[in-house]
Amino acid sequence: MRIENVRLRALLAKHGIVVEEPTSSVVSTLSLEEKVALFRGLFQGREDVFARRWFSSTTGKSGYQPVCAREWDSEYCDKKKYKCAECPNREFQSLGYNDIYRHLEGKDPNGRDVVGVYAIFPDNSCRFLCCDFDDKSCERGYQDDVRAYVSVCRDWGVPAYIERSRSGNGAHVWILFDEPIKAQTARRLGNAILTEAMEQEGRMSFKSYDRFFPNQGLMPSGGFGNLVALPLQGRARKDGNSVFVDDDFIPFPDQWEYLQGMRKMTAV
């Protein structure tokens, strides 16, 4: 009901009808600690290792790399001698409260506080399936593809949530699980939904579909699998990106209220 109420308020706002928020809203009572706990409880990837975005002001290039607890420690870190991936002293840092807080706050102008989580656990399970839709290879836009995919989710009773990507040129559709399930099973679910959506919308090519997170059914040898940037990144939110949206791609007015109403899928 809470998600439906938020969706209806967004539609009213679209047509210039303002609904005053009750002063006793439950969201207003959430402390920072409670918000971080809520967020971490929904978007659960690996926590023993995580990635953070990097950006080079010299080259303009950017990417993600696992966070090392020993980076810039002169006793262990010698970047002139070793690349990070080859360093024998590398020690991965666990994902902590401050990392999530910085991600949500978004103070770095170049996005160097954006957190990326690895979707697949060492036992080849996962706690979410995220479908990535990208505008780059799609002539007519990604939004209709997203709607078709989400429509099948609803028909099948699968809770699914649309997030506009950080760039604003695509979307993630999140399916959250209430307990770890095999990554292979999660991917089979995603592929079945995608296939059904394509069959129902025969005129659509679904060229905007890019990949699933996790992108592998099994943990790759010597790696962590692919990562996905967490939603609600502070700086991107200022531009209306990295936020959850309704079917018309209008951001929900209170993102924390929306998160509180999210349901997880029970694996059977």
The residue-averaged pLDDT of 159-182 equals 96
- pLDDT for 78 equals 74
Residue 66 is encoded by which pair of tokens? 């696992």
- Judge whether 102 and 113 are in contact, CB under 8 Å: yes
pLDDT score of 22 more than 50: no
- Judge whether 249 and 143 are in contact, CB under 8 Å: yes
Closest CA to 21 of 40, 37, 38, 2: 2
Lowest mean pLDDT among 93-102, 127-136, 151-160: 127-136
pLDDT digits (tens, 9 = 90+) for 226-236: 999 999 999 99
- pLDDT for 202 equals 76
pLDDT score of 17 more than 60: no
Domains of the chain, each with CATH number or no CATH: 2-18+26-46+123-226+240-260 (3.30.70)
Strand order across the 209-213 sheet: 209-213, 125-134, 170-182, 161-164, 244-245
Mean pLDDT in the chain? 87
Query: Of residues 196 and 23, which shows the higher confidence score?
Result: 196
pLDDT score of 4 more than 90: no
The residue-averaged pLDDT of 161-184 equals 96
pLDDT digits (tens, 9 = 90+) for 249-260: 999 999 999 999
Q: What is the largest CA-CA distance in the chain?
A: 61
- pLDDT for 137 equals 57
- pLDDT for 82 equals 75
- pLDDT for 27 equals 44
DSSP string, the chain: -HHHHHHHHHHHHHTT---PPPTT-GGGG--HHHHHHHHHHHS---SSS-EEEEE-TTT--EEEEE-BTTTT-TTT--TTT--GGG-TT--BPPP-HHHHHHHHH---TT-TT-EEEESS-TTSEEEEEEEEEESTT-TT-SHHHHHHHHHHHHHTT---EEEE-TTSSEEEEEEEEEEEEEHHHHHHHHHHHHHHHHHHTTT---TTEEEEES--SSPPTTS---EEE-S--HHHHTTT-SSEE-TT-PBPS-HHHHHHT--PBPP-
